[in-house]
Each structure stands twice: as structure tokens, then as C-alpha cells.
Structure 1
């Protein structure tokens, strides 16, 4: 189709329908006539069965505008993500000669496509390559639990040494035994045992 010298003013440039939002199934296209003479218009569509246009033909007075109502008749999943087009064609009021046209794209989106992220409560994530391959936070938790399922062998060994040291008699005891340790050393064993116990409890 040849280009025309007279431009066509239409708003909006595209229509977006939502599958689950019934309020979006009825929308309005505004046609503007900025000229000092009246014009006629006609509305065409690439898929007439899916849409209804109230008054698809009419006229616009000089320096005026008109609103046309577009209804989506087939809001079904089978028609989602398919682009259609309306063509608004303008004609001279007297001769009916075509002087220009404008295309308006339409699409029906699913509910998930209409999702808008929250504007608040976003926090910057650290660039940790160890979690780049995880799909969701549950897998991250599972990995963390595997890596921290229990205390390491060194912690358990230290706890065992401290317990054995506390069980040995001190130098102040009256029994005559071969192995004796000082009271201060027992205090050190008790302190280390307390710290290792806290570490073990944090892993459970």
C-alpha cells in the first residue's frame, strides 16, 4: 500500500488484553482529526472473529476526535501471545478517497505476563558463584544443610581430650596415681570443652 502525505493520529499505538482481567477485554482507541476539514474513517482487522468494534465506520469533524470501543471476544489460552492488527483508514469526507492509515497492534497476555515486581524491599545480592546454578532457595538451603550437617572431626577430638583431662585426678588428690594434672590445667580443659560444646550445638 502506498504511503500517504496526510498522517493519521491514533492513540494508543497498541492494545494489551489480559486473560484473567475482564476489565481489559474492553478498550478504547481514540482517533484525532487535527485538520480544518472533516474526514471519514473505517476500521479493519486481521482477525475479525476475535474482536468486536462499536461503530467501525464514521466521520470526524474538523479539529475533533472520536472514541471507538474494541472488545476482545475470545479471551482463551489458545489465543495468548498471538499478535493481531487493527488498521484505521482515513478518507476524505466528500470524495471518500483514502488519504492515510494507521496500524494498531493487539495481543492477549497470560496472567504471569502481567506480573509487576514490587517497588520496595529489594536487597543487593552478593556475587557468589557457588549458588549460581541453583534454581530456588530450597536447593540453596539443602546445599547449606549438607555442608553444615554436623561438627567436624577436629572439634569432636578436642572435646574428647578435654573430657579425659577432666576425669584425671588433680595434683591435690590424695590417691596415689601415675597420671596427675594441675587444677589450672583442668580449668583450661573445662573452658575448651565449653567452647567446643557451643560449636557442636550450633551445628544442630
Structure 2
């Protein structure tokens, strides 16, 4: 009776498919990244068979593009990029994993995974670091301007100033501490390497400290 109730739901093609990762990134200058692994999970109480399709099959080699997954088990699907050329940089290809019950042909569910080839892993990492530093700078500047606006509103409502707020003093202390930390590449420092900061981060701290000084002098 349970089997008869389960089948009408499965044949609709809406069975959730669990795949990790959901995005594959290959780097032209990193040979190790040319081989990626997709893991297909089967959390159900019945076996599944799967099939891997691709929008650009000539660029990839898929090991075991078809197979089966036992109930509450998983399988690894190896995908290799075999056409690493500059003309393919930034092109997004798609892999589609279709699953069905072993006794049926119709797909019960599907999941798409995006694959992208990038020129350099190092350049990607540097770009992420620059974006992170830019985001940190924007957050610090917004925090300082918000604090400055709040101080102006308080000064307008009070005839006498009570001095800088604790937040302003705290931000100033943080900026001073950042400027006192060693710079990246300073081999003679006894401070741990993970506390060495880049020049850009110190410039941001100096800029914010200047804004804080202006806020304090106005109070």
C-alpha cells in the first residue's frame, strides 16, 4: 500500500536531488583543479539510478556518467576538464544530474551544476582579497560617518558637550592598534605572521583615524 502511494508523487519529476558542490571552478594554471568531484546523495529508502548530462560534452570527461545509488548512500562522480584554453575562460557550462527509480525510465528529479574555467587561482584569490578590503573600508567609513552624524545630533540637543562617545574612542583605539601591527613582509618582527597586515589595510586605518580625530576635535 505504501509503494502505491509513493509512486504517484515520484513520477511528477519533483524529487529533490542532493548534490555537492553546486558549482565547479577550474583554474587553467592549477593542474590539480582540472579534476573535480561531484557527490550525489541518496537520502531516500529506495535505490536511485542517475545520469550526467552536459551542455559542452567535448570539453569534459565524466567518469561513470551513469550509475546507481543505494538507499541512504552516496556516490562520487569524477569530472575532468580536458580543453583548457583561453577562449573558454569565463564560459559557464552546465551539468545536469537526472535521477530516477531503478524500475522506471522517467526522470524523477534533476539538478544543475554550473562549471566555469578561470585563468588563475592566484588572481582569483587576490581579487577576493581586494573586494574584502574594499568592503571593510566601506563599512568603516559608514560607521564613522554614522557616528559623526549621531554626535552632531546630540550636540544640537545639548548645550554642553560631554566629550567623545565610547564607540569613537573604541574605533580610534582599534585604528591605532592596526597601525602599530607589523606590515606584511617584515621578517624581523616577533609578532605572529597572521597579525601582519597589508599596506592597504593600514592606509584604511590611517584614513579612519583621521576622520575620528576630526570628530573628537569637534566635540
Q: Please list every run of 5 or more consecutive structure 2 residues that lacks an aligned counterpart in the other structure.
A: 1-11, 130-183, 185-193, 208-219
Query: How far does residue 124 in structure 1 lie from its aligned partner after superposition?
Result: 2.9
CA separation in 2, counterparts of 1:101 and 1:89? 4
Deviations 1:52-94 (A, max 9, x none): 0000000000111000100000111111110000000001111
CA separation in 2, counterparts of 1:46 and 1:5? 22
Deviations 1:95-137 (A, max 9, x none): 122100000000000115423338741313455xxxxxxxxxx
- Whether contact under 8 Å (1:18, 1:114) holds in the other structure is no
Match of residue 114, structure 1, among 116, 124, 132: 124
Query: How far does residue 12 in structure 1 lie from its aligned partner after superposition?
Result: 0.1
1:90-105 map, 5 Å: 90-105=99-114
CA separation in 1, counterparts of 2:13 and 2:52? 17
1:200 aligned residue: none
1:53 aligned residue: 62
Please identify which structure carries the higher helix content: 2
Query: How far does residue 5 in structure 1 lie from its aligned partner after superposition?
Result: 2.6
> Is 2:80 the partner of 1:71?
yes
CA separation in 1, counterparts of 2:85 and 2:97? 26
TM-score under structure 2 length normalisation: 0.54
TM-score under structure 1 length normalisation: 0.58
Q: Which has the larger radius of gyration?
A: 1
2:48 aligned residue: 39
Supply the RMSD in Å over aligned alpha carbons.
Answer: 2.2
> Is 2:32 the partner of 1:23?
yes
CA separation in 2, counterparts of 1:34 and 1:96? 20
CA separation in 2, counterparts of 1:23 and 1:114? 16
CA separation in 1, counterparts of 2:68 and 2:21? 19
- Whether contact under 8 Å (1:19, 1:75) holds in the other structure is yes
Runs of 4+ in 1 over 6 A off after TM superposition: none
2:203 aligned residue: 124
1:84 aligned residue: 93
- Whether contact under 8 Å (1:84, 1:107) holds in the other structure is yes
CA separation in 1, counterparts of 2:61 and 2:43? 27
Q: Please list every run of 5 or more consecutive structure 1 residues that lacks an aligned counterpart in the other structure.
A: 128-204
